[in-house]
Amino acid sequence: MDAGTAVELAKQGSTLLLLDVPQHTLIGIDTHMVSVGPAFKGIKMIPPGPHFLYYSSSTRDGKDFSPITAFFVCSAPSEVIVRKWDQQEERLVKLPQEEEEERYCRAVRSWEFDRHLGPYNLSQYGDWKRLSSYITKSTIERLEPIGGEITVASESSLHKFTPKTAKENALDEQLKASTFSTSSDTSNARGCYYTSIPHVIKHKGIDVQQLTYLNLDKTQLLESVLQKEYNGSEDMLLGELQFAFIAFLMGQSLEAFLQWKSLVNLLFGCTEAPFHTRSRLFVKFIKVIYYQLKHALKKDCTDASGASALLDDSWFSADSFLYHLFKEFFLLLQDASIVDGDLLSWTRKLKALLESNFGWQFEQNSAVDGIHFEEDDEFAPVVVMLDDPSSTEVPRF
């Protein structure tokens, strides 16, 4: 870009000043990760809004790395956020004195650090906006742990008694091995304040048949969780889904993966909500998970952020919990008598993504295969279009 545009973006955007970070440390913001060089002191031209910073300290030769430590920030226009490397604890910390922080902020605004600041990767900003479209400052404040730091190094005690599948146990061990081994004291582990999602519905005073139905269709549970935990806000639920996915994929948090899985299970466990009570929520949900999986499967994503350590062969297996959830949802859509047009369209895109990237095969000749049904086909779903005031365009910065 030309110099004038660069200056204007630097003035409007926020700046992340990172002092004394050792060489070879991996620093990532949103979807982009770099290795720190001798002149690095931070990142400029950051678009205002929510962002995810994650880093991994290195040995002197740059061959071995510590577990990733991460935190969310919500930056304002022209804001300067200052962090300094603590040599003893090998992590970024806030400056102890406000006067010192203000002095650095003035220096940044006077362009004293400009040649040491790398530009935010604006070419990937669209991807980040799609991954974080429902995350707000209140989302971050509600979910982040005490102190704000998210790291798998402090999560082992949090999941000691959490039931997991064989694949998840293997993932747990993978995170603890080699590069991701943990030596940190976990006695004071601080997890995120995720919403508790019941796996089984229990009600006294109702017969077994009704209780079985409630557990087969989680629509009523979804309604209960929305009203009790999110004040009826669908966007708050989707914000937590995105928060957990980002903390899992970029921050390599096992706790976040389990929360993401719980929310995905809850939503895909509904049979009535997608077509009657919460069609608009499911349109937004399918779009969210589509962009999540699309980004997670990018080669540059897995190479740069280390996400390949989490996206192992279990994700591609027909035994994957995702495969079974998607298969049941596609069949549900096929058998539905009324389907929202946007939901059908986005589900087709999701199905195509799964088949092309995972190699999964689902039922053919269904509503999500893009087949044009004849008007007199009694088994064809009825497609209805609902007004959607939202736009999928990425806001300009």
Q: Are residues 111 and 165 in the same domain?
A: no
pTM above 0.85, yes or no: no
**Separation in Å, CA 114 to CA 17, 45, 107:** 10, 11, 9
Please give the average per-residue pLDDT across 342-348, as a whole number: 95
- For residue 293, tell me if it sits in a domain: yes
Number of domains in the chain: 2
Cα-Cα-Cα-Cα dihedral sign, residues 10, 13, 17, 23? negative
- For residue 140, tell me if it sits in a domain: no
Q: Are residues 282 and 341 in the same domain?
A: yes
> Which structural domain range is residue 105 located in?
3-123
- For residue 389, tell me if it sits in a domain: no
Quick: pLDDT tens for 235-280.
999 999 999 999 999 998 989 999 999 999 999 999 999 999 999 9
How far is Cα of residue 244 from the mean position of the Cα atoms in its chain? 5
| CATH number, domain with residue 113 | 2.60.34.20
Q: Are residues 19 and 65 in the same domain?
A: yes
Q: Which residues pair with 33 in a beta bridge?
A: 28
Q: Are residues 101 and 183 in the same domain?
A: no
Quick: pLDDT tens for 137-187.
999 999 999 999 999 877 755 555 455 555 556 556 655 554 444 444 444
Q: Are residues 24 and 95 in the same domain?
A: yes
Q: Are residues 321 and 228 in the same domain?
A: yes
Q: Are residues 119 and 157 in the same domain?
A: no
Which among 301, 191, 307 has a CA at the least distance from the CA of 252? 307
b/e per residue 257-290 (b: at least 16 CB within 10 A): bbbbbbbbebbbbbbebbbeebbbbbbbbbbbbb
Q: Are residues 68 and 194 in the same domain?
A: no
How far is Cα of residue 211 from the mean position of the Cα atoms in its chain? 33
| CATH number, domain with residue 298 | 1.25.40.550
Pairwise pLDDT comparison (207 vs 332), residue with the higher score: 332
Q: Are residues 183 and 326 in the same domain?
A: yes
Q: Are residues 38 and 86 in the same domain?
A: yes
Cα gap 350→343, rounded to integer Å: 10
- For residue 247, tell me if it sits in a domain: yes
Q: Are residues 205 and 310 in the same domain?
A: yes
Angle subtended by helix axes 219-229 and 234-249, to nearest 10 = 90
| Residue 210, SS3 per DSSP | helix
Q: Are residues 119 and 161 in the same domain?
A: no
